[in-house]
Amino acid sequence: MEELQFLTKDEDNGKRLDVFMTEVLKDLSRSYVQKLLDDGLITVDDKDRKASYRLKGTETILVSLPELDTLEVVPKDLPIDVVYEDQDLLVVDKAKGMVVHPAVGNYTDTLVNALLFHISDLSGINGVLRPGIVHRIDKDTTGLLVVAKSDKAHQLLSEQLKDHSMDREYIALCHGSFRNDEGTVDAPMARSKKDRLKMGIDKDGKRAVTHWKVIARYKGCTLLRVRLETGRTHQIRVHMASVGHPLVGDFVYGTKKDRTKGQMLHAAKLGFYVPGGKRLLFWRPVHDEFREYLKNLKRQGGAI
């Protein structure tokens, strides 16, 4: 049983408990949150509360998440954009809102479920819940992912992630104006001690390095090309927020006032070696929502 603790703030006063929990437990459906409440696995100041309970602010919420059961992941006919495929691997352009692999509360509507429907064999190195998954991107981040079909390819790709030879580049829209045209954030990261669902800058954490370069400047926003040297969870989101430029639409590390459906972050470039020694390189443009947001920024004043 994994336990998570959340401290509500004055701004949460009056919010329904089930709504709040769905916001902070982003990978869980509202129906699963309801089940946790019904089973007494969510308490507010050590008391069981109904889903309709209105928060009073500055309360302590404790969530006890049951262990994932060992199960067979069910294939599901969900649309996926396959950019490339051979006998060892495939590259997909993940849509916004799709979780990469099954987890508590979502066993059926993930990229893995879709892959199992469309692909006959996937690498088994990462176990039953994450077949073929070499690396991940967040639910609301779009873009390129490589998936292993053979164990040989999985091991080779994992080694490239570990030694930082895999080429990964993102397009990110950040709040504010950057003083310089390019730079690097070199700041160690670890899981937050206050909120286990968040990451943060921590001097005792693992080394994390993010390189960025300005593509375009807009009124109030800056479009960046971001290259990962390391690959920590939420690295770009945390690093950009740490220097005062959170991603537009990042409701976890930025502001909740943005009118977007999640962070404006796209995995645009992916390069790696395949079995046999050949190097492949892929590039995909930002998706429609991102593109339309940039068009609106231009209409409101154009690039600066």
- Active-site residues, by number, are 138
In sequence order, the 6+-apart residues with CB closer than 8 A to the CB of 8 are: 20, 55, 56, 57, 58, 59, 60, 61
Of the candidates 256, 172, 237, 239, the one whose C-alpha atom is nearest the C-alpha of residue 202 is: 239
Sheet strands (E) in the chain: 2-7, 42-44, 47-48, 60-65, 81-85, 89-94, 142-148, 167-175, 182-186, 189-191, 199-201, 209-218, 221-228, 265-273, 279-283
CA nearest 27: which of 81, 79, 101, 77? 101
Neighbours of 181 (CB within 10 A): 10
Q: What are phi and psi of 289, to 5 degrees?
A: -60, -45
Closest CA to 133 of 106, 165, 102: 102
Residue 24 host element (H or E):
helix 17-24
Length of the chain: 304
Q: Residue type at 147?
A: V
User: Cα-flanking dihedrals φ and ψ of residue 247, to 5°?
Assistant: -70, 145
Helical H segments across 39-126, by residue range: 111-118
